[in-house]
């Protein structure tokens, strides 16, 4: 291919910066781009790309119509490769099908995510947000995740859950214009999350939903069960042996056999059964139709929980009382972290498929690629 027929018209090319016609300065060494396979054989497009002399920007490499800048793949191959990645959900499997190296797969994903983030509409209204944490690696290494529960997508994630990390998440995940229109942020009771909401979305309500409350109450039940089981074991009483998941599992997920076993345990005078009853009764709070009804229910529940005299339940009851405003906000917005919990499950699957991630950057790219709902294609 000669310089005169490179673009099919003339020897003039556009400057990659200002897109104005510029004269050819010289030609670079031959380069090749991976293209769609032909008859199951790898196919490459080979060309010597000219450099142009722009009066304003100097000497630069001319753009080519079949590939993006700094890419070793044609746009057609890159589009096909992204389809394969999204279909397989496993980078190693996609690499095998496409006959690419892990490094090339990562490069494709990184470029796709960068395109998607640039194309995001920073003026799109996001009424509700969810912020949650997820274990990244062993050794108490966490990531903080900002998501849109209505669209069920990850907006961004940062390493750590410190105040500095969460502040960064709120500034990079959505624009300042979008933050002003947020009405609620669903979260657990981690102080850094609440402080970030107050700082960046002061007009929004903090919402503590049933999923996080259930986790705290389940923890109180389990701690009570473990302590009580030790006492009963010393008396050769095995009533609570192997009963952990009976107390923690919801009724909808129980078999008839498990339900019968739990009913038998609740008939005994066990502290665990009493705390479990308080956990179950708190479900009614989220079914209240009005703020007045919710406050009245909580007042009675909190008073009775303290009167029971169980240390673990009292600790949770007092914590809920301190964050009653966030619980009441649920009655107004009816938003939960269910979508965030669902995304966490998908994140765990991505981790499992990849056999873990050694580098934080690779983990972030993978999550945004699969769960960001970005416009990935060139």
Q: pLDDT digits over 98-152, tens only?
A: 999 999 999 999 999 999 999 999 999 999 999 998 887 776 788 999 999 989 9
The H or E element spanning position 131 is strand 128-137
Euclidean distance between CA atoms 258 and 266, whole angstroms: 12
Q: What is the pTM of this model?
A: 0.83
Residues 189 and 221 in one domain: no
Residues 234 and 320 in one domain: yes
Residue 84 lies inside a defined structural domain of this protein: no
Helix or strand or coil: residue 176? helix
- What's the first-to-final CA gap in the chain, in angstroms? 25
Residues 233 and 296 in one domain: yes
Residues 193 and 220 in one domain: no
Residue 72 lies inside a defined structural domain of this protein: no
The pLDDT confidence band at residue 16, using thresholds 50, 70 and 90, is confident
Residue 119 lies inside a defined structural domain of this protein: no
Residue 357, Cβ density class (10 Å: 0-12 exposed, 13-18 middle, ≥19 buried): middle
Provide the pLDDT for residue 8. Answer: 40
Residue 79 lies inside a defined structural domain of this protein: no
Range of the domain at 148: 128-208+337-344
Residues 324 and 214 in one domain: yes
Stretch 312-339: mean pLDDT, rounded?
91
Residues 321 and 233 in one domain: yes
Euclidean distance between CA atoms 72 and 31, whole angstroms: 9
Residues 222 and 323 in one domain: yes
Euclidean distance between CA atoms 32 and 175, whole angstroms: 39
Residue 3 has pLDDT above 60, yes or no: no
Residue 285 lies inside a defined structural domain of this protein: yes
Query: Which position has the higher pLDDT, 18 or 328?
Result: 328
Average pLDDT, the chain: 89
Residues 215 and 201 in one domain: no
Residues 202 and 225 in one domain: no
Q: How far is CA 81 from CA 78, 115, 377, in A?
A: 5, 15, 10
Residues 288 and 217 in one domain: yes
Residues 298 and 241 in one domain: yes
Which CATH number fits the domain that encloses residue 185? 3.30.420.10
Query: CA nearest 199: which of 120, 131, 121, 124?
Result: 131
Residue 93 lies inside a defined structural domain of this protein: no
Asked which of 66, 89, 105 is the last residue of a domain, the reply is 66
Reading across the β-sheet that carries 13-14, which strands appear in turn?
Answer: 13-14, 21-38, 41-54, 58-61
Domain count, the chain: 3
Residue 271 lies inside a defined structural domain of this protein: yes
């Amino acid at each position: 291919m000669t310089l005169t027929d490179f673009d099919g018209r003339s020897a003039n090319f556009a400057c990659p910066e200002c897109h104005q016609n510029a004269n050819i300065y010289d030609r670079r060494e031959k380069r090749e781009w991976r293209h769609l396979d032909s008859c199951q054989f790898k196919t490459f497009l080979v060309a010597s790309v000219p450099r142009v002399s722009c009066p304003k920007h100097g000497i630069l490499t001319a753009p080519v119509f079949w590939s993006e800048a700094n890419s070793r793949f044609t746009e057609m191959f890159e589009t096909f490769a992204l389809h394969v990645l999204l279909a397989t959900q496993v980078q190693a499997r996609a690499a095998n099908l496409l006959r690419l190296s892990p490094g090339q797969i990562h490069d494709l994903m990184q470029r796709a995510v960068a395109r998607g983030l640039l194309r995001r509409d920073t003026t799109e209204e996001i009424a509700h947000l969810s912020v949650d944490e997820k274990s990244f690696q062993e050794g108490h290494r966490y990531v903080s995740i900002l998501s849109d529960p209505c669209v069920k997508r990850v907006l961004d994630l940062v390493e750590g859950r410190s105040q500095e990390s969460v502040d960064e998440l709120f500034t990079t995940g959505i624009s300042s214009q979008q933050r002003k229109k947020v009405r609620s942020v669903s979260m657990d009771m981690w102080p850094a999350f609440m402080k970030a909401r107050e700082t960046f979305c002061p007009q929004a309500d903090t919402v503590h939903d049933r999923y996080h409350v259930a986790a705290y109450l389940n923890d109180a039940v389990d701690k009570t069960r473990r302590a009580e089981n030790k006492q009963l074991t010393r008396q050769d009483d095995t009533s609570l042996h192997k009963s952990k998941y009976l107390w923690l599992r919801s009724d909808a997920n129980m078999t008839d056999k498990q339900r019968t076993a739990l009913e038998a345990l609740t008939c005994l005078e066990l502290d665990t059964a009493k705390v479990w009853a308080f956990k179950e009764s708190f479900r009614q709070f989220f079914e209240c139709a009005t703020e007045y009804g919710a406050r009245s229910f909580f007042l009675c529940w909190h008073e009775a929980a303290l009167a029971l005299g169980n240390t673990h339940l009292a600790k949770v009851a007092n914590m809920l009382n301190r964050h009653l405003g966030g619980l009441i906000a649920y009655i107004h917005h009816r938003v939960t972290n269910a979508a965030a919990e669902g995304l966490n499950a998908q994140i765990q699957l991505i981790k499992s498929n990849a056999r873990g991630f050694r580098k934080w950057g690779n983990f972030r790219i993978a999550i945004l690629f699969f769960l960001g709902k970005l416009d990935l294609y060139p």
